[in-house]
Amino acid sequence: MRALSSLLFLALAIAGGQPALAADGNGAAAVYGVGGLSCKVLASASGNLGQQNTLAQVMQWFGGYLTALNTVTNDTFDLNPILSSSELQGILEKTCLQNPNITVQQAAQNTIQALAVARTKKASPAVEFKNDYGSFLLRQETIVTMQQALYKIGLYQGYANGAVTPALMEAIKAFQSKNNLHRTGLPDAETVTKLIIAPPTKDGKSAG
């Protein structure tokens, strides 16, 4: 999995000190399954073909954990704007690499809290971006947020309607060029992080 500088930024930003999403008065909660594993286990499994089963179990657990949080968080349809499971795994792995002494559950919690800045609040279908570089899915509400962000920095002049158009993909390419990202026109996790979670200044450059 290629190194993503903005995902490393995101991992550093959620390194610790985040309040619990839900727990007892002391911030503690019972954790079941692989969520109780140390991040050291996940870090050692990263890139190790012999431990891919561990990674698969962690991501399966993470999906269930995220689903549970979606159902109990007010004004929320989906806390996670990154619909690519491989890129979401990359964020979680980097968080664990930066914080090897916390648990997988704590890393997952911190990751979700950071990503929740770009959460979708209402039921929103997944829409596909596709070109010769590949394809990515984003929820329609997230696309609207992306269109608004691109408009604010003067890179997009179309409607903020959640539609995938050539003009939108060209605007994404322009943003990627300004931020030294791979210029694909696709909203990968690196692009979403820099555009929405670590929003850019008026010159189009992200702080992330």
pLDDT of res. 13: 46
For the chain, how many helices (H) and strands (E)? 8, 2
Query: What is the pLDDT at residue 169?
Result: 98
- Residue with token string 């002494």: 101
**DSSP letter for each residue of 139-152:** EHHHHHHHHHHHHH
**Cβ pair 104, 37 in contact under 8 A:** yes
* Kind plus residue range of the DSSP H or E element containing 40: helix 39-45
The overall average pLDDT reported for the chain is 86
Examine the pLDDT at 56 and tell me if it is beyond 50.
yes
What are φ and ψ of residue 42, in 5° steps? -65, -40
Q: What is the arithmetic mean of pLDDT over 122-127? A: 96
Please say if the pLDDT value at position 17 is more than 90.
no
Q: Tell whether the model's pLDDT for residue 129 goes beyond 70.
A: yes
Give phi and psi for 36, each to the nearest 5.
-85, -5
Is the Cβ–Cβ distance between 141 and 121 less than 8 Å? yes
Average pLDDT over residues 115-124: 93
Model pLDDT, residue 110: 92
DSSP 81-135: ----HHHHHHHHHHHHHH-TTSBHHHHHHHHHHHHGGG-B-S---EEEEEETTEE
Global confidence as pTM: 0.81
pLDDT in tens, 159-202: 999 999 999 999 999 999 999 999 999 999 999 999 998 877 77
